[in-house]
Structures are given as structure tokens and as C-alpha cells.
Amino acid sequence: MIPFPLHLESLLGKPVTYLVFLLIGFLFGYVLEISGFNHSPSLASQFYFKDLRVFKVFFTAIVVGMLLLFLSSAVGLLDYNLIWVNPTYLWSGIVGGLIMGVGFILGGFCPGTSLVALATLKIDGIFFVLGGLVGVFIFGETVDSYKYFFNGSYYGRLTLMDVFNLPAGIIVILVTLMAVFMLWGGEQLEKIYGKKDPSKAPKARYYGAGVLVLAAVTIAIIGQPTTADRWNKLESVRGGDLTNREVYIHPGELLDTFHDHKLNLVMIDVRSEADYNLFHLLDAENIRPDEIPNSINELIALPANSVIVVMSNDEVTSTDVWKTLTAQAVPNVYILSGGINNWLDTFATPFEEGFCGEITEAGVEELHYEFDAALGSNCPAAYPDHDEYHFDYEKKIKLDLKRAPVGGGCG
């Protein structure tokens, strides 16, 4: 597994990198043009089941892309979690899809193919793009009036694996079989409504379908790397961060981060619910280690300025959770040095001491303070006064802002 993304800009320089991007865009547009996707009657005819070439090409591209992606992940060439998955806004997405579908039928283009038509100076393509720009302007001027609907029904980074709770390999097989069936069904519709003869189509399509199914089965057999597999391959790169304590932050740095409004601080308390109820930092979320895998998608989808701090009573459990999150490509994860025990050693006030028994000689990952009542975060030590404490410490938090959403769309 490649532990970090491959940055073309650092390898080739900015001008050459932009030329590579330009070449890719040109080739993509060229393929669309020679495929006839700049001709609106051909595109619109798919909605009348007469010519489904657009459906076939895009569906084939989706399946081939899926197979290459998960095959690369299975053999360790790609980290799937580093790929941006657009967040799901269910109902606004459905309405947006319907609007785009109606526009596709009326205008004969989707956004991508309309740009191909524009590039070849087709009149209908030019007017379609102008209409799209007008629509963008109207949307920008009116979105505040329905922003709650637009941002509602949020499901975050949602995939078919999450929806059906099935392994990636099984989903890959099912999607591939569905694609093969739908491509066959498309031919039957063309035969009925478009008067096309499927027997005249290239026979190689059957071999292609067989290769797709074989690739899907291969992916399922190999399986996707586990968290342990990921960490084993990443340990040579990130293990030094633990050895050199580069990711263990001083309680004073966490206190300063509380008040750094440029950062989105996310604190994960991985202790037992009982210890969490006795005392925890203000706004810290209690997530047990065995529940961490269920939170990976949510943590990956956090804003790019997010800093995640994991804490346990000491450092053993939080270090294990750090390994899990780091192996799953969650960025900007740190560990509270010394855990909650060290935090209380640093910030405990007479208020907490009045509720505590004597500090015990507890074992590893046990709370060293004996509370007589469950304080939770209802005490001064849960959110110390920033003006009262000043520490000299080595700053460890270095925000990685390289991740960012990449827009997608039709064509």
C-alpha cells in the first residue's frame, strides 16, 4: 500500500503537471466527441430506448472504474479511504437528479457532453451551456431560501457497503452482475424500440462481460486489506511518530487548541462509559475502541481543518486507537500525552479534589482518581481557565491540509 498520495506537482513541477491535466481533459473530451456524445438527438434518444449508447458507455465506465479501484486496493496499490466520496444529501440529491434528468431530456445534453458540443461549436450546445450558467446564477441567488432542505438528510460518506452491511467484494460482484444484466436489457430495449439487431453487434462484448465478472470474483477472493494489514505496511513510515512521541501532545497544547478557533477540535474519549461519566473533558465524545471502525467514514469526512485528539486513562488504549485511525487514512490524529490521569494531575482544582478520594496506585489504563460522584464535564478541570495556565512545551500539532474534495459529475 502506498502510504501517501502521489503528488505529480512535486515530481514534475507545476507547469508540467498542468499540462498533464490538460492532456487528460483533452483526451476525455476527444473520446466523448468521437463517440457521438456531442450530438443531442443521439443523447436524447436513450430516454426513448432507441439508442442506449450513452447508458452503455457510462455504465461500462463506472463498472470498469470500480473494478480497477477495488482491485488496486486489494493488492495494496491504492488506499480507498484516501479517495474523496461526495457526501450524501438524500432528498436534495433526488430532487437535483430529477431536475438534471428533465434538463437532459429537454436539452439533449448533460453538463459534460454540453461542453463537448460547445467545443465543437454546435449551436444547441452553446445555448445549453448558457442556460446552465443562468441556472447556476439563479441557484446561487436563491439557495438561502431553501438551505435547510438543501443541507438536510445528510448521511455523510455513504457507500453501498455501508447501506447493505456487506463486504466490498460482494458488493463489487453484485454491481458487476447488475451491470451485465442491464447492458443485456438495454440491447433488448433497443431491439424493441429502436429496431436494432443485437446479432450484428460485436461478439467481443460477451468476452468483455466475462472479463468483468472474472475480475469481480477475483477481487472478492483476494479481499480488501484489514486494519492490521494496513498498519503493518504503514508501520515503517508512521511507527517512528510513536517512538519519537511526535503525536503525543502536552495537556497545555490541547488547552491552547481549545481556544484556537482556526481549528475544528474533535476529542475522542475511548475509556469505559463508567470512567467517562465520572470525568471527561468538555465536548469530548465517548467512543469505545470496538466502535471506532463504525466512525471511520464520519472522521474521514470531517472538514480539512479538523484535529482529532484521542484520550484514554493512560496511553495504551489511545495509542492502539491512533494506529487504527492512522491505518484507515484518517488525517491529523494525535494522542493526549499521559491521558486523563496526566490531565487531572495538571489541571485538578480543589473542586475536583473535594469529590475525590486519595489518588490510588491504579494499574495500567485505570483512573488514578477516586471520584465520589459522577462529575462528567461539570467541573473546572473539564475546561480549565486558559488565562491561568502557561506551559513551555514542544508544539506537536501540524495540520495536514492536503486533503480536499474533488468535484465530480456527469461526463
Higher pLDDT, 253 or 87: 253
Question: So what's the pLDDT on residue 167?
Answer: 94
The angle at the Cα of 150, spanning 146 to 156, to the nearest 5 degrees, equals 155
Q: Coil, helix or strand for 370?
A: coil
**Confidence band of 365 (pLDDT split at 50, 70, 90):** confident
pLDDT tops 50 at residue 288:
yes
Mean pLDDT over each residue of the chain, to the nearest integer = 88
User: CB-hemisphere CA count at 13 Å for 168?
Assistant: 18
% of residues, the chain, pLDDT over 90: 56
Helices (H), 45-122: 53-74, 90-107, 111-119
The mean-pLDDT minimum among 94-103, 258-267, 356-365, 376-385 falls in 356-365
Residue 51 has pLDDT above 90, yes or no: no
Type of residue at 200: K
Rounded to an integer, the average pLDDT of 163-177 is 95
pLDDT at 7: 63
Render pLDDT for 131-163 as a digit per residue (tens, 0 to 9): 999 999 999 999 999 999 998 898 888 899 989
CATH class of this structure's domain 228-388 = alpha beta
Is 363 exposed, middle or buried (CB count within 10 Å of its CB: 0-12, 13-18, 19+)? exposed
pLDDT, residue 240, reads 93
- DSSP class of residue 26 equals H
Give dist(CA 353, CA 372) in Å, integer.
10
Which grid coordinates belong to 185?
436489457
Cα separation, 321 vs 227, in Å, equals 11
In the three-class reduction of DSSP (H, G, I as helix; E, B as strand; rest coil), residue 310 is classed as strand
Q: How many CA atoms lie within 13 A of 139 on its CB side?
A: 9
**The pLDDT of residue 4 is above 60:** no
pLDDT for position 246: 95
Q: pLDDT per residue over 206-221, tens digit each?
A: 999 999 999 999 999 9
Characterize the bridge pairing of strands 264-269 and 306-311. Answer: parallel
Can you tell me the distance from the alpha carbon of 354 to that of 348, in angstroms, rounded to the nearest whole number? Answer: 10
- Listed range (205-219, 228-242, 296-310, 360-374) with the worst mean pLDDT: 360-374
Query: Helix (H, G, I), strand (E, B), or coil: what is residue 187?
Result: helix
Considering Cα of 302, then 306, then 311, then 317, what sign does the dihedral take? positive
Provide DSSP, 245-280.
TSSEE-HHHHHHHHT-TTSEEEEEE-S-HHHHHHB-
pLDDT above 80 (res 351): no
Cα(382)–Cα(376) distance, rounded to whole angstroms?
8
Q: Where are the domains of the chain?
A: 8-226, 228-388
For residues 394 and 297, is the Cβ–Cβ distance under 8 A?
no
Quick check: 87 and 301 in contact, CB under 8 A?
Answer: yes
Percent above pLDDT 70 for the chain: 92
**Which of 47-61, 309-323, 358-372 shows the lowest per-residue confidence on average (mean pLDDT)?**
358-372
Q: What is the mean pLDDT of residues 56-70?
A: 92
